[in-house]
Structure formats: C-alpha cells, structure tokens
A and B are shown apart, each in its own frame.
Chain A
Amino acid sequence: MSLAWLARRLAGVVLTFAVIVAAVFGLLRLAPGGPFDGERALPPEVEANLRAAYHLDEPLPYQFARYVAALAQGDLGPSFRQKDFTVNDLVARGMPVSATLGAGALVLAAGVGLWIGISAGLRPGSRRDALLMSIASLGIALPPVVAAPVLVMVVAVFWQLLPAGGTGGPAHYVLPVLALALPYTAAVARLTRGSVVETLAAPHLLTAAAKGLPQRRVLLRHILPLALLPVLSYLGPMAAGLLAGSVVVEQVFDLPGIGRYFVQGAINRDYTLVMGVTLVYAALVLLFNLAVDLLYGRLDPRIRLAR
C-alpha cells in the first residue's frame, strides 16, 4: 500500500465530508418555516433578537463561513430548541449509550454471522446448511422496526425475563443489541456462506489438500482469508445500517442515545441539532469505510499490489 494511495484516499474522505457539510447546510436553510415557529407567533422584536443572537440575520455565505469555522474546531453550535444545550453537549451525552449499542451489535452480527456462515458453507447442501440458511433468510426480514417491539412484547412484557427499556446495567442492553443485530447477523451469515462455498472450489485448495495439509490449517490459512473479503466490504454498509437502526432501537427501548436526539430534532425542526448529528454520523461512516478499505488491502494481496 503506497503512501500516495493513502493520501489520495484521505483527500477523498475530506472532500466528501466537505460536500456533505455544504449540502446539509444548504438543504436545511432551504427549509420552509423557521426554527422558532411555535404554537404561537413570537412578537416581531423577540424573533428579531433571537435571529440576531443565532446570527440568522446575516447573509447565507457569512452564516456558512461561521458554521465551518466553528466546525473546524469541533463546535457544532447551539441547539435551537433545547435551550442551554449545545449540540456538542447532546452528542456527548448520547454517545456512550449509542456507542455501546452499536459496538455490541457489530460484534454480535460479525461474530455470530461468521460462525453460522462458515459452519453452513463448509458443507454446502447438508441438512445443517439448509437449516441455518432458512433461519438466516428469516432474520433478514426482521429489521429493528419489527424485531424491537416484538422482542419487548414477548421477552420483556409477557415473559418478564429482561428489562423492557431504559439504562441500568448490562441486562438492559441485551434486547436492544439483539434487535439491532438480527438482520445484519443474517446478512453476514449468508454472505460468508456464499464466499466460503465459492472459495472451496478454488484450485489452490485442491493443492493444499493434495499436499496433505491438516484441515484446520487449510481452513485458517487458505479458506478464511479469501472468504472473509466480501464480508469485509459489507462492513461499511452494515455500519451505516446499524446507525440508522439504532435510531429505532433507542426509541423503542427508551435509551437516551444520539438517535433519540436526532429524531426529536427532526420532528421539532431543530436545524442545528439535525445537522450536527448528521455530520457526526456521516463522519463515523466515512472513517469506518476508510478503515475497512485499509484492512481490505492488508488481506488481499491483489489489491495491495494494485495500489
């Protein structure tokens, strides 16, 4: 992997982020209705003062420059709706909960998905393969919006095995993580199975078997590195999906994460909050994709050389 490639890739990430910042800023300023429109119209003087306080009376390019300058220092601005809170405060508050949820789901989906996919793919056509893949195809049809409320109803309300919501301890995270990870576990399992089956047919495996390599070594050294590649490239979209899913899961389980603030902001037209959370999410996804790309290069010599 060359340094030039890395520099180009980094420049791409920065450029993409800049475009996102400009696009989101432009979109939100095009929106009809101001952030201070409430049930009652404010007296004109009060509204004028508010607009001046938030610099909304300046020309748009000035406002944009102000926003970018603040953003460069990591300042996402004040929340228009939640008085006394900056967007940074709200993000910092929600981050631990959302990060726990997201990381838990990522580990579960990747770990269990890989395990299922490998054990099904090593014996394609077997009864175990058929059973595991039917389960996986069910899992794909159970996204958080279906799984989360149903899990709460069955496990928490009727069986009363686990808490139905809120924070408190590890037990509070079991159902949310499960609900979030379900469809991605299934997707990883299907992808892994497919690429394991494809890899099994590769000529170098015949060589490995002919040399008399032990099965375990063939699996670890010759099958997995190749079979993992498509799964790795799925991690990027999966991270984006987990972020989105966490919005629903936080809502259902009453978890005070970033997603809750995002939805509240969207419903209340809290522009700075929506914009701030969007940028945090976008940055996370971009960085995650970059990390996946780097890892991909390490695992696949063909790509390493091409760079």
Chain B
Amino acid sequence: MKPSVRHTLFGTPAAAIASVLLAAVLLYLAVGASLSGYALEDIDWDAMEAPPTATHWFGTDLAGRDLFTRVSSGGRVSLGVAVIATLVSIAIGVPYGAFAGYLGGRADHVMMRIVDTLYALPFVLVVILLVVVVGRSTLLLFAALGAVFWLDIARIVRGQTLRVRHAAFVEASRGLGAGTVHIVLRHVVPNVAGPALVYATLTVPGVMLAEAFLSFLGLGVQEPDTSWGVLIADGTENMQAAPWALAIPAGFLAATVWSLNILGDRLRDRLDAAVRSG
C-alpha cells in the first residue's frame, strides 16, 4: 500500500475505525449469504421470530427467514443501488458541469441557474413523484436517484473546469481546430475527473440513505428483493417481539453510512490540501 493511501485510510483514529468497519461490512456483503446455509426465501419452520442463536446468527424474521442471509443480501441491494445511482449522477453531472464551465457566459449562467433552482426543491419529492409516475421498480430507483444527485458533482466540475479552460493544452487543442465537444470530452473532462470522483464517494452514503428512506415508505425496493430500508421497515412493524430484526439492519446502515462519510470527508480534505499546495 502506498504511504499516501495508508495515511488517508488510517491516518486518524476515526479513519482507521471507518476503514476497518467498511472492510468488514463489504466482506459480509460479499460472502454472508453463502455462509449461513440458508437462502433468501428459505423458511425455518422451527424458528419463527427466533433471536440470534448458533443456527441463525442474526435471528430470523416473522416468517422464519434467516436474517444473516437477508441483511447481507439487502445490503448488496442498498450498496448496489447507491453505486449505480452515483455512476448515473457522474454521467450527468460531469459533462453538464464541464460544458457549463467551458462555454462560460450566458450558457453557463442559465445552466447554473437551473442547478440552483433544482437545489431549492426538496429532492425526495422529486423522487417520489417519479416513482408515482413510472411505477415502483428497483431499476427506476437507480435512475431516479442518480438524476437527483448530480447537482453537487455538476457544481464541483464546473468550478474545476473554470481553472483549466484557459490552460495551454486547451488553447493548443483549440488552435489545432478542435471543436467544443471534442475539447470538453477529451481534454477538460479527464482533467477534472479526480475531484468529481472524490465528491462521488460522498454521494454514495447520501444515496444509501435516500434508498432507505424510499424503501421504508414502501416506495423503493419491492419484494421479493430486499434492502436495508425494507428490512428496517419490516423490523419497525414488529419491534416489540423481534427487536433484533430492527436493530441489526439499522446498525449496518448507520455503520456503513458513517464509515463512507468519514472516508469521503478525509479524501476530500486530502484533495483540498493537494490542490492548495500545488
């Protein structure tokens, strides 16, 4: 591991805890479902609403389904939705910000006014509206969330683009007769991608929470798929009899979001320091 990477991941106690926690969660998501010996829909008739035991490490839910498997599988969906939605938001935000910054003037002004306006909207309303309109599907959720979360990335990329739009390599390309689209996509975007990616790491926990929010309300991930939001909703309905069914997915969601936030902040601080010094 390069010293700079090690310093980013383990430089402070909080970052070290977050790194270890995140690695443990990722490992659990990767192999958890195959370790327990139960499939997602397997029902153990002898253990309905069973607390955590040697056979069911995280206990079972109301229907006797193994929670070690379900929390792992739900986590994959939660994280998967978040990663894909983040990629969608990069795909929208990076070109949008790069074109706005490169074009400048009136085009930039109008494009950024649109971003400001969208910022003023409670984003969840937009997602709920989209869900009402297009119907509930996990795939739609990816797209809808990505379509809402691109604003931050567009802003950052625009700011970075302003720094490079008069750089020698851009001027040279223009002097050689390259078109706007070519310059933006081939010369500007690669040079502003780094900061965009760092901010994207802070988008992932945001999307995870949004997914949990929607799934909790019954508007997100649908049966037979599950996610941490769905599991928290199920656990909430039955908290008195089976508190573990609420506490475990809630704990995983909080721990994952916390770790991603800590590491994302750390990456951003390191990047800011690098930009300032150099």
Q: Is the CB of A278 within 8 A of B239?
A: no
Q: Is A153 an interface residue (CB 8 A)?
A: yes
Q: Is the CB of A24 within 8 A of B246?
A: no
A145–B129 contact, CB under 8 A? no
Q: Are B120 and A278 touching (Cβ within 8 A)? A: no
Task: Tell me which of B131, B205, B236 contacts A266 (CB under 8 A).
Answer: B131
24 A-B residue pairs with CB within 8 Å: A16-B120, A141-B205, A141-B261, A145-B216, A146-B253, A149-B232, A149-B236, A149-B246, A150-B247, A150-B250, A157-B240, A241-B122, A244-B124, A244-B125, A247-B124, A248-B216, A263-B218, A266-B219, A274-B128, A274-B132, A281-B122, A285-B120, A285-B122, A289-B120
* Residue from the list B119, B121, B246, B257 in contact with A153, Cβ < 8 A: B246
- C-alpha gap A145/B124 in the complex (Å): 13
Contact, CB under 8 Å: B217 / A247: yes
Say yes or no: is A143 at the interface (Cβ < 8 Å to chain B).
Answer: yes
Beta-carbon contact of B209 and A143 below 8 Å: yes
A140 on the interface (CB 8 Å rule)?
yes
8 Å CB contacts to A: which residues of B182-199?
none
Say whether chain A's binding surface is mostly helix, strand, loop, or mixed.
helix
Q: Write out the residue numbers on chain A whose beta carbons fall within 8 Å of the beta carbon of B232.
A: 145-146, 149
A19 touches B250 (CB 8 A): no
Residue A20 is within 8 A (CB to CB) of chain B in the complex:
yes
Residues in B whose Cβ lies below 8 Å from that of A251: 216-217
Beta-carbon contacts of B249-262 to A below 8 Å, as 1s and 0s? 01001110110011
| Contact of B30 with A by CB under 8 A | no
Interface centre among B133, B209, B243, B254 (most CB of A within 10 A): B133
12 more A-B residue pairs beyond the given contacts A31-B134, A266-B132, with a C-beta to C-beta distance below 8 A: A16-B117, A24-B129, A134-B14, A138-B258, A141-B254, A146-B250, A152-B236, A157-B239, A158-B243, A247-B217, A263-B217, A266-B217
Q: In the bound complex, what is the Cα–Cα distance between A244 and B254 (angstroms)?
A: 18
Query: A166 interface residue, CB < 8 Å from B?
Result: no
| Interface status of B93 (Cβ within 8 A of chain A) | no
Which residue of chain A lies nearest to B212 when distances are taken between CB atoms in the complex? A145
Residues of A within 8 A of B (CB): 16, 19-20, 24, 27-28, 30-32, 134, 137-138, 140-146, 149-150, 152-153, 157-158, 236-237, 240-241, 243-244, 247-248, 251-252, 262-263, 266-267, 269, 271, 274, 278, 281-282, 285-286, 289
CA distance in complex: A289, B214 (Å): 25
Task: Assess A285 versus B128: contact at CB under 8 Å? Given A146-B253, A267-B219.
Answer: no
B229 part of interface (Cβ distance < 8 Å): yes
Question: B interface, how many residues as a size bin?
Answer: 35 or more
Min CB distance A180 to B, Å, is 13
Residues of A contacting B216 in the complex (Cβ-Cβ under 8 angstroms) = 145, 248, 251
Nearest-Cβ distance from residue B23 to partner chain A, whole angstroms: 17
Q: Are A137 and B258 in contact (CB under 8 A)?
A: yes
List of B residues within 8 angstroms of A274 by Cβ = 128-129, 132
CB contacts (< 8 Å) of A278 on chain B: these are 125, 129
- Please list the 9 inter-chain residue pairs (A to B) with the smallest Cβ-Cβ separation, ordered nearest first: A141-B258, A244-B124, A240-B122, A149-B236, A31-B133, A141-B257, A153-B239, A141-B254, A146-B250
Out of B119, B130, B218, name the residue touching A237 (CB < 8 Å).
B119
Q: Does B10 contact A (CB under 8 A)?
A: no
A79–B265 CA distance with the chains assembled, in angstroms: 45
Contacts of A146 in B (CB 8 A): 212, 232, 250, 253-254
CA distance A138 to B218 in the complex (A): 26
Report if A248-B14 is in contact (Cβ < 8 Å); known contacts: A141-B261, A149-B232: no
Q: Say yes or no: A244-B129 contact (C-beta < 8 A), given A32-B135, A137-B261, A150-B250.
A: no
Which listed residue, A141, A145, A149, A285, touches B213 by the CB 8 Å rule?
A145
Asked whether, in the complex, the Cβ of A149 is within 8 Å of the Cβ of B239, the reply is yes
Q: What CA separation (Å) do A27 and B261 show in the bound complex?
A: 34
Chain B residue at smallest Cβ distance from A26 = B133
Find out whether the CB atom of B129 lies under 8 angstroms from the CB atom of A27: yes
Contact A143 B213 (CB under 8 A): yes
For residue A32, which residues in chain B have a CB less than 8 angstroms away from its CB?
134-135
In the complex, the answer to whether B125 meets A281 with C-beta atoms within 8 Å is: yes
Please state if B209 and A145 are interface contacts (CB–CB under 8 Å). Answer: yes
B75 part of interface (Cβ distance < 8 Å): no
Cα A240 to Cα B148 in complex, Å, equals 14
